[in-house]
C-alpha cells in the first residue's frame, strides 16, 4: 500500500513542485471527502485513489489526470458537486472527475456478449477527453487487483465486465501492459482452476525453453553487435489469457501454442529496425507470409513494429518483433506513453513525440506535438462525434446517430413500438419525445394500444428509419381514410341522382371506371377522398355510362355531406375561420389537403362557392367526441389576479386553453386572445357566458376570421 509521501517522491521525478503540490492538495481533499469510508478490505477508502494515482504515475501522466484520480469517487460517493471541484482546482480536473463519475454510474454488467462492442464504443463516446478513459482503466486495474475482498457474485460480475468492456478498450487505445493484466486478472477470477493449471504449465514449459531461447537470443545479439547496431534482445512472454484464448479459438493443444518462441528486438531508430530485419533474415530462414511492416503502416491503435517469423536453431519457429524504445512504450502503454517522454522539458530540443488519438473506425492519425498542452488539446475531442449509445430497459445497447431523439429511438427498437409510442422515460423520468438523447441513458418507450403516429413527429425525428416509417404509416393511413371518405362522398353524389352504388352491375361499373381512367374503384374512391377527383362529376360519369334511364338535371340540389370530425387526415378545418360544430360551413377540395372546411361566412371560400367541382355543401353530423379550436377575445379591467380568475373560470367549464396572448391597451384595460378546445357552439356559448359573469370583464367576443385577428394586433 503506497503512501502519499512515496507517491509524491515518484511524481517529483518528472513533475515540478507546483504540480506535485496540486496532486497533494487533491489527496487532502479526497481524505476529507472520504473520511469515515472504508473499502471491503477494511482499508481506509482513500488508499484506493492513491493506488489509482500511483498507476498513472507509472505512465508519468499529467497533474490534472493525477488529481482526477485522487478525486474520481468524491462526486459519486460523497455527493460533492462538480462546481466545488472546479473552484478548488480547475475546469480540466472537474471535467475529468465528472467524466469518470458518469462512467461509474453505467450499469453495463448484465448485458449480452453480442453487445460488448457497442458498450465499448459507448464508454469511449462518453469520454470526451481520452484521459477520462486512462483514469477509468487505472481505477479498474486497482479494483481488479483487490477483487478478492468482494463476494463471489460481485467478483464474477466485475471480472466479466472487465473482460468484455474495459480490457478491449485498453487494447483499442494501445495500453497493452494494462490490457494484458486486466485480462489475466479477470481470467483468474472467472476460471481460477484453469488459470492455475495454465500458469503451472507455462512455468514448466518456460524452464524447458530457457536454454535454447538464450542461445537464439545470443546469436541474434552477437550478429547485430558485429554489424554496429546497438540492440536489446529479449524473450517475449505470452500472457495466460491469450494462451487460453488461442487454445479455445484455434482448438489447439497447449503444446502447439507454446511451440512457437517469441523474441523482441529493441533498437535505437526506425532505420535500424529495417537493417535489423535484413540481418535476422540472413541469419535464419524467414517464414513465407509472416512479414508485416507496421512501422510504415501502423495498426489502427497506433501500434508500430516490424513482425517476422524465422526458423531458428534445431528447426524451431520463432516470432520476432523489431521496434524502437518509443515504439515499444507505445505498444505497452498506448496513448499514456506520451507522458513518459515529457519530463517538464518544453524546450525546442526535447524529442518530437508521435502521439495518436483513436476515433470511431480508428482512422490513422500521426501528429507531432512540441508541448503536453498541445497534446492534451488534441485528445480533448469527441471520439465518436456522430454516434450515441443508449440502453433499452432490458439492457440492450442501441447505436444511434448524434442528435437522435426519443422518437428515433422508438423506431430504432421496432417500427411497431414507434407507431404505438405515446410517451417516454429517460433514466426513469418522463421526458418529451423530442428530447435529444445522450450516450449512456436508459430510454423506455410508453405505448398505447392503438397507433399514435402523428405528422408533428416529423418536426423532430432525425433518423432516416424513423422519418420513412412515419411518412409511410401516415401515407397508408391517409389512403385508407381517403377511400372511406371518398366512398361516402360518391355514394352521396349518386344518391342525389337516385342511384345506389351497391346496386350498379359490376361489369357496367367496371366499364364506367375504365371510361373515366380509373384502374380500380378503390383508386377512384381514394382520389375522390383526397380531392383529386370531384364526387359529383364521377357520379355523373358513372350514371351516364351505365345508361340508366334518367335525365340528369344539372341544377339538382346537392345533398350536403355530413362530417363529424372523425374523418382523420382527409378532412381539414381551415385555420383562417376556425369552424366548430354548429357553425354554418362549406367545404372545398384541395389536392394537397383533401376537403377543407370553412365557416360559410369566411371570405376565403368566396372564390370557390360557384364551382361545384371545387365546392361542396357540408353539414355537421352527430358528435364524435373530438375537440375543435375556437378563438375568443376578452377585454377586462386590469386587476390583481385577473389572469388567474379567467383561467380558473375557463377550466371549470371543462375546457383546455391551448394558447393565450395578452396586450396592454394603455387605458387600464387588458386584452386577451385565447385558443380554446371546445366540442361545439353550445359549449363555446356556455364558456363565454361564464366569463361574462366576472366583474372585471368588459367584453367577450369570438374571433371568426383573419381580419378580426389582425385588428387585435393593430390595437
CATH number at residue 453: 3.10.20.30
Q: Mark whether 285 and 322 lie in a shared domain.
A: yes
- 247, part of any domain: yes
> Which residue, 461, 403, 472, 398, is CA-closest to 436?
403
| Distance, CA of 567 to CA of 579 (rounded, Å) | 15
Residues 597 and 680 reside in one and the same domain: no
User: What does residue 583 show for φ and ψ, rounded to 5 degrees?
Assistant: -75, 150
Mean pLDDT by 10 residues, the chain (715 residues): 83 89 92 89 90 89 90 86 90 88 65 56 64 88 91 90 83 80 93 90 73 87 92 83 83 70 90 94 90 82 85 84 87 60 34 31 33 44 58 80 89 89 88 85 87 79 85 74 79 79 80 75 79 72 64 50 66 86 84 77 79 72 80 89 84 82 82 89 91 90 72 44
* The three three-digit cell numbers of residue 376, written as one number: 492534451
Which pLDDT score is estimated for 163?
Answer: 85
666: left (phi over 0), alpha (psi -120 to 50) or beta: left
Give the residue among 350, 380, 330 at the shortest CA–CA distance from 129: 380
Catalytic residue (one of 2, 16, 62, 77): 77
Examine residue 357 and state whether it is found in any structural domain, yes or no.
no
pTM summary value: 0.51
Q: Is residue 172 part of a domain?
A: yes
Pairing mode, strands 571-573 and 594-599: parallel
Q: Are residues 174 and 199 in the same domain?
A: no
* CATH number of the CATH domain containing 689: 3.30.70.260
481 belongs to a structural domain: yes
**The pLDDT of residue 560:** 65
Q: Quick one: 407 and 286 in the same domain? A: no
Domain that holds residue 457: 387-462
Cell of 160: 466479466
Asked whether residue 363 is assigned to any structural domain, the reply reads: no
First to last CA, the chain: 79
pLDDT number for residue 592: 62
Q: Distance (Å, rounded) from C-alpha 579 to C-alpha 585? A: 7
Count of structural domains, the chain:
5
Query: Of 190, 214, 244, at which residue does a domain stop?
Result: 190
Phi, psi of 624 (to 5 degrees): -100, 0
Boundary (domain end) residue, out of 273, 305, 340: 340
CA-wise closest residue to 284 among 259, 315, 310, 266: 310
Q: How far apart are CA 563 and CA 624, in angstroms?
A: 9
Task: Provide the β-strand partners of residue 628.
Answer: 678
Under DSSP, is residue 326 helix (H, G, I), strand (E, B) or coil? helix
Q: Which of 2, 43, 73, 76 is catalytic?
A: 76
Q: Say whether both 81 and 29 belong to one domain.
A: yes
The residues, any chain, with a CB within 8 Å of residue 644's CB and separated by 6 or more, are: none
DSSP-assigned states of every residue in 32-52:
HHTTT-B-TTSSBTTHHHHHH
Q: What is the CA radius of gyration of the chain?
A: 39
Q: How far apart are CA 90 and CA 442, in angstroms?
A: 31
Q: Is 326 noted as a catalytic residue in this protein?
A: no
Residues 643 and 695 in one domain: yes
Same domain, 116 and 219: no
In whole angstroms, give the CA distance from residue 71 to residue 86: 12
Is 600 in the active site?
A: no
pLDDT at 351: 25
Residue 158 within any structural domain of the chain: yes
Q: What is the pLDDT of residue 321?
A: 93
**Beta carbons of 663 and 712 less than 8 angstroms apart:** yes
CA distance 242 to 181: 11
Are both 81 and 142 inside the same structural domain?
yes
> Would 51 be classed as within a structural domain?
yes
Classify residue 700 by burial, with Cβ atoms within 10 Å: 0-12, 13-18, 19+.
Answer: buried
User: What pLDDT, on the 0 to 100 scale, is given for residue 355?
Assistant: 30
- The residue out of 441, 462, 483 marking a domain boundary is 462
Same domain, residue pair 136 and 203:
no
> Do 212 and 274 reside in the same domain of the chain?
yes
Domain presence at residue 578:
no
User: SS3 sequence, 689-713?
Assistant: HHHHCCCCEEEEEEECCHHHHHHHH
Distance CA 28, CA 22 (A): 10
**Whether residue 140 is found in the same domain as residue 218:** no
**Cα separation of 383 and 387, whole Å?**
9
The whole-angstrom separation of Cα 714 and Cα 297 is 72
Same domain assignment for residues 211 and 166:
no
Amino acid at each position: 500500500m503506497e503512501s502519499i509521501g512515496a507517491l509524491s517522491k515518484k511524481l517529483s521525478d518528472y513533475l515540478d513542485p507546483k504540480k506535485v503540490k496540486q496532486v497533494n492538495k487533491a489527496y487532502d481533499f479526497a481524505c476529507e471527502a472520504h473520511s469515515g469510508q472504508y473499502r471491503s478490505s477494511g482499508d481506509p477508502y482513500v488508499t484506493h485513489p492513491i493506488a489509482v494515482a500511483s498507476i498513472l504515475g507509472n505512465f508519468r501522466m499529467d497533474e490534472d489526470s493525477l488529481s482526477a484520480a485522487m478525486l474520481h469517487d468524491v462526486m459519486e460517493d460523497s455527493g460533492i458537486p462538480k462546481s466545488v471541484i472546479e473552484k478548488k482546482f480547475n475546469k480540466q480536473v472537474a471535467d475529468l472527475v465528472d467524466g469518470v463519475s458518469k462512467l461509474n454510474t453505467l450499469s453495463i454488467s448484465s448485458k449480452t456478449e453480442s453487445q460488448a462492442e457497442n458498450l465499448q464504443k459507448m464508454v469511449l463516446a462518453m469520454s470526451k477527453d481520452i484521459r477520462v478513459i486512462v483514469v477509468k482503466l487505472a481505477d479498474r486495474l486497482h479494483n481488479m487487483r483487490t477483487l478478492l475482498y468482494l463476494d463471489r457474485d460481485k467478483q464474477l460480475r466485475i471480472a466479466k465486465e472487465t473482460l468484455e468492456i474495459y480490457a478491449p478498450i485498453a487494447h483499442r487505445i494501445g495500453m497493452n501492459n494494462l490490457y494484458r493484466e486486466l485480462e489475466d486478472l479477470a481470467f483468474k477470477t472467472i476460471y481460477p482452476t484453469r488459470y492455475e493449471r495454465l500458469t503451472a504449465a507455462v512455468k514448466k514449459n518456460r524452464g524447458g525453453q530457457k536454454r535454447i531461447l538464450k542461445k537464439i537470443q545470443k546469436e541474434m545479439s552477437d550478429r547485430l553487435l558485429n554489424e554496429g547496431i546497438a540492440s536489446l534482445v529479449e524473450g517475449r512472454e505470452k500472457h495466460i489469457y491469450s494462451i487460453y484464448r488461442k487454445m479455445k479459438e484455434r482448438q489447439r493443444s497447449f503444446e502447439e501454442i507454446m511451440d512457437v518462441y517469441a523474441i523482441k528486438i529493441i533498437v535505437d531508430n526506425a532505420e535500424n529496425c529495417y537493417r535489423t530485419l535484413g540481418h535476422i533474415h540472413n541469419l535464419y530462414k524467414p517464414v513465407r507470409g509472416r512479414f508485416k511492416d507496421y512501422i510504415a503502416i501502423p495498426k489502427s491503435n497506433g501500434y508500430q513494429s516490424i513482425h517476422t517469423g524465422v526458423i531458428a536453431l534445431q528447426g524451431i519457429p520463432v516470432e520476432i518483433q523489431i521496434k524502437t524504445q518509443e515504439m515499444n512504450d507505445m505498444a505497452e502503454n498506448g496513448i499514456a506513453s506520451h507522458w513518459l517522454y515529457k519530463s517538464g522539458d518544453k524546450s525546442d530540443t526535447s524529442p518530437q513525440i508521435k502521439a495518436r488519438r483513436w476515433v470511431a473506425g480508428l482512422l490513422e492519425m500521426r501528429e507531432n506535438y512540441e508541448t503536453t498542452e498541445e497534446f492534451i488539446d488534441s485528445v480533448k475531442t469527441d471520439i465518436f462525434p456522430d454516434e450515441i449509445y443508449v440502453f433499452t430497459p432490458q439492457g440492450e445497447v442501441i447505436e444511434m446517430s448524434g442528435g437522435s431523439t426519443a422518437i428515433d429511438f422508438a423506431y430504432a427498437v421496432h417500427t411497431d413500438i414507434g407507431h404505438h409510442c405515446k410517451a417516454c422515460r429517460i433514466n426513469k423520468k418522463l421526458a418529451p419525445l423530442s428530447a435529444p438523447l445522450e450516450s449512456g441513458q436508459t430510454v423506455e418507450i410508453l405505448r398505447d394500444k392503438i397507433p399514435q403516429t402523428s405528422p408533428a413527429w416529423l418536426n423532430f425525428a432525425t433518423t432516416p428509419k424513423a422519418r420513412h416509417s412515419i411518412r409511410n404509416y401516415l401515407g397508408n393511413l391517409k389512403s385508407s381514410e381517403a377511400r372511406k371518405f371518398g366512398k361516402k362522398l360518391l355514394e352521396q353524389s349518386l344518391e342525389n341522382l337516385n342511384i345506389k352504388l351497391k346496386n350498379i352491375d359490376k361489369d357496367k361499373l367496371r366499364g364506367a371506371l375504365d371510361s373515366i381512367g380509373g384502374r380500380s374503384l378503390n383508386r377512384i374512391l381514394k382520389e375522390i377522398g383526397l380531392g383529386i377527383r370531384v364526387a359529383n362529376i364521377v357520379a355523373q360519369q358513372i350514371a351516364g355510362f351505365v345508361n340508366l334511364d334518367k335525365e340528369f338535371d344539372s341544377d339538382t340540389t346537392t345533398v350536403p355531406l355530413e362530417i363529424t370530425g372523425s374523418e382523420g387526415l382527409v378532412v381539414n378545418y381551415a385555420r383562417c375561420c376556425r369552424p366548430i360544430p354548429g357553425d354554418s360551413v362549406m367545404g372545398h377540395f384541395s389536392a394537397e389537403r383533401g376537403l377543407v372546411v370553412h365557416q360559410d361566412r369566411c371570405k376565403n371560400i368566396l372564390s370557390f362557392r360557384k364551382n361545384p367541382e371545387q365546392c361542396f355543401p357540408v353539414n355537421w353530423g352527430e358528435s364524435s367526441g373530438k375537440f375543435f379550436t375556437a378563438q375568443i377575445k376578452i377585454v377586462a379591467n386590469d386587476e390583481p389576479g385577473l389572469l388567474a380568475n379567467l383561467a380558473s373560470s375557463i377550466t371549470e367549464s371543462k375546457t383546455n386553453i391551448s394558447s393565450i396572448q395578452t396586450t396592454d391597451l394603455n387605458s387600464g384595460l387588458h386584452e386577451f386572445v385565447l385558443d380554446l378546445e371546445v366540442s361545439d357552439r353550445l359549449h363555446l356559448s356556455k364558456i363565454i357566458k361564464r366569463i361574462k359573469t366576472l366583474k372585471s370583464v368588459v367584453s367577450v367576443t369570438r374571433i371568426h376570421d383573419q381580419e378580426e385577428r389582425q385588428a387585435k394586433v393593430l390595437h
